[in-house]
Chain A
């Protein structure tokens, strides 16, 4: 059994943002080092899915020496099944703007960008209105920080932080080699903090209430709360803020339709967990959680027994085949081979044993792909093929 919390709904993110002016003005009167320490002690980890410690990221950027630095809010929310960032930006935009400005204060950046997913263009009028008002207030308190929106054009890969920066620089959205990391050489080769929308919104909570309030929620290594985008075969799809560390069993009990066969945690690049493993699976980052621990950007897709897992995988692979940037071999060719491969097995043109070759291929992709996209195709592929082997063949 996993060491987990009971499923608990919380309401931080979407709570009142009317006090943003006060939060901003008081926060930027504190010492940057104190703020960084506060953030580090909260143990907040990136909410985009990768889970890099946010405090450390800001610290690295603050320590970097450069004539200019940048803050980017990654709002290229493209992972299939996630729709939380859209809600944050339309309901509590000031929290995000405030967090960006505070990050600018801490790191020394004077300019911030919201990289907005192409499909979210409809958010821009309201968001621009908020930015304008925010700007007005910054001028009033003589705080120098400028925020603008940069529109993406709909490529999934541009959610990868370095591809995103390439795209902002007017180049093809292809991930860069790492190192160097964005905190050293980011946008325009300058130190850059790039955070997911939700991560920024959490820092607002931390600066407003202090790290302890955040730290006290969740479990060790997975502190605080997280927004979940619940979709699929569920009577109550939507966005929910839950404490990290719950077991998938509890989650399905709350959100399932009574016939849940599997849950895809973390979108197409995440893992599929079959019913028999629900009780061993916990939602959070690796560490104290025993059993399976599932980091997630918040996408939770529920499938009931009417769903064919072959079709699910086929759908994911089609997505990856199209959304790979195409630059590196394992991802570009690997995704094509995986998709064609499972179809060939299904049609009987390749023996069932070919699935093992494909599983080894996903391992190679995980080891050698240039960025997170190619590396994580293995997650859904192996978890679906291994748990629903029969469905792949017959």
Chain B
């Protein structure tokens, strides 16, 4: 245990662990010091300066986020000098900021707006700088819009892109009044290494970085009587949506969400978890096939380890930065795209609806899914497989616009045919979930027995450790899989692209020896996705993860291959995993992209 030191805050004595910052000390006393550039996920920058406090004996003020407490320090967080300086800084930020709040996507959830409201900044004496500069909005990416006129240069996005994701698509350029956050050669976001993960959007305090929203397009589709609008909801949405609607982080709202979607006017409310289960069967079979080719046929062309392909941020990352490993990716489409391809084929046929009259909408915790739906290869149904992708945040907007009292909605179940799911599908939303679901099914397929973990909970792949490793020894397999007897299946799980980088570098240098790796672009997996409610931080991610595993634990079926609708799908339509029709509809290929 570290030593405690004595300080005083606003005249009251405080004992605090040595090494804590003034901001942390104040927080421990229930005193909020305003911040903008500070984010719990990121390293301290100390550049916005709104958190300045006065330390007795010092003329200059100190940034609370960046200054460690020292024995005997007398700190004033709200002296007149502090208040006046802080107000000045807020005024300066506003003078540089396109403060047309009523027309801003982040209106109502903007940290600068909140601060200026708290400090009652009623006038603008300083000269407005926005009209003096040439700003344009980058709206060419299908996922993310960037509006520099709303940027306060806190560099949270830059630190996010570098520290959490290791991508560095966003960086600081120029100096002085021309300093700005931009991309390689100031190209559009769609033309650079950006993975569309949206973590920058989630970490932006203002409306400078927002998702490209498709709210009006979806309303129009719903209003069109000739269209049958189906909606799918990703696993992580049900544990995040509540936060946007006034509920505590970690509240499970699955049934209420389905009820809300029905009231919004969607013709069928279906579940991405269904295709998550389907993914497990396709991907699990693919893994076993690869293992057989490698171990029995000694086929040198087969690539191991096999990497998951559910996370479109990860896909774009590997396409840009490790294209030599594209053959290691599972060829399975993500659950969203499998769903889209089936909605306009299998579902259309079963419901007797012309596929061109189906509009397929998905609700995702993700901004990269928007890009994924736009990929040219995602037209295997003969139409665009997924028409519109909305984030968790956009769904909350729809619900608010429709005037629904979310809390009063009675929970209802998903519609049938592609609405049934198992606990294995739900945990796709958490880091390690795909791995756990795959192992539950693959182990049983191979041995005929449950995975050797209590209650099917594969604890080693759960939790928020950046890189997790697990291995399962296969003993007494069924006859068909005899070649796997005694094989120790080595797996790794990584979330946050900075951890993906670590694993990829280890693979490159030959230091990693895995069979199967799960990669998720976002910290915590999809539950910490770029399309999830703002704020998201480690505490909140933990609560959402707990909710996901609780959801899994409560479901009667917890293994993908037991999903009766998936079984029916194979019987009636696909025949078997990796069949020709599966290959056509459920598998895809990847594109090598530039490094910058």
Contacts and interface: CB of A to CB of B under 8 A. Distances in A.
Given A325-B179, A327-B155, A370-B63, 18 more contacts: A172-B172, A177-B46, A179-B67, A322-B178, A324-B175, A325-B175, A329-B47, A329-B92, A329-B93, A333-B92, A333-B129, A334-B92, A336-B177, A337-B126, A340-B132, A341-B127, A368-B60, A375-B60
A337 B92 contact: yes
Contacts of A354: 125
Interface in A335-365: 335-337, 340-341, 344, 354, 357, 360-361, 364
A323 B63 contact: no
A321 B44 contact: no
A225 interface: no
Give the bracket for the number of chain A residues in contact with chain B. 35 or more
Contact of B49 (A157, A360, A370): A370
Q: Which residue of A177, A330, A360, A369 has the most chain B CB atoms within 10 A of its CB atom?
A: A177
A326 interface: yes
Contacts of A341: 126-127
A332 interface: yes
A375 to B, nearest CB: 7
A182 B175 CA distance: 24
B176 A324 contact: yes
A77 B553 CA distance: 66
A367 interface: yes
Nearest to B180: A326
Contact of A367 (B47, B66, B81, B175): B81
Given A340-B127, A370-B46, A321 B177 contact: yes
A360 B96 CA distance: 18
A332 B127 contact: no
A366 interface: yes
A322 B176 CA distance: 5
A40 interface: no
A300 interface: no
Interface of B: 44-50, 52, 59-61, 63, 66-68, 81, 84-85, 88-89, 92-93, 95-96, 125-127, 129, 132, 152-153, 155, 172, 174-179
Nearest to A336: B177
B49 A369 contact: yes
| Closest CB pairs A-B (n = 9) | A326-B179, A177-B66, A333-B92, A364-B88, A322-B176, A327-B47, A177-B46, A324-B176, A367-B61
A335 B175 contact: no
A118 to B, nearest CB: 14
A308 B77 CA distance: 42
Please classify the interface of chain B as helix (H, G, I), strand (E, B), loop, or mixed, using the class held by over half of its residues. loop
A366 B89 CA distance: 12
11 contacts: A177-B46, A177-B66, A177-B67, A324-B176, A324-B179, A325-B179, A329-B93, A334-B92, A340-B129, A360-B88, A368-B89
A326 B174 contact: yes
A35 to B, nearest CB: 30
A162 to B, nearest CB: 12
B176 A326 contact: yes
Contacts of A10: none
Contacts of A328: 46-49
B56 to A, nearest CB: 14
Contacts of A367: 52, 59-61, 81, 85
A354 B60 CA distance: 24
Contacts of B60: 366-368, 375
A361 B48 CA distance: 16
Nearest to A374: B49
B92 A322 contact: no
Given A366-B60, A367-B81, A333 B176 contact: no
